[in-house]
Amino acid sequence: MSEAAVSLEFIGRRLDSVQTDVADVRRRMISLTERFGSIERRFSSMEARFAIMEERIDHVADRMRKLEEISIDQGELLAGQGKMLAGQSELLAGQGKMLAEHGDMLRRILATLEGP
């Protein structure tokens, strides 16, 4: 009978140990569930932030496109102004030559009028 009693005591201790282990596993499962819940919340928060970042990137890309269009327009405007200034420069050079020729002609006329 003592063997049966020892066996029952052994079985009882083993059952207590198994119950302790099962309780520990359940606690760990609850802890992991809470951690995974926290991770899921963080991921959903990150997804929302990524959506906001995508909108901001799209907005910045639109602004850059508009600035490029403006700079192209300004470049064309400046090129046109440069051509206009070149034309004015040629006109002024021609007027300068004409004034020099008129000056020479007036000096000759004056010289002729004053006589020898």
- Is the pTM higher than 0.75? The answer reads no
**Residue-wise pLDDT tens for the chain (116 aa)?**
456 666 888 888 999 999 999 999 999 999 999 999 999 999 999 999 999 999 999 999 999 999 888 888 888 888 888 898 888 988 888 888 888 888 888 888 888 888 76
Dihedral sign (CA 40, 41, 42, 44): positive
User: Which DSSP string do the residues of 83-106 spell out, in sequence order?
Assistant: HHHHHHHHHHHHHHHHHHHHHHHH
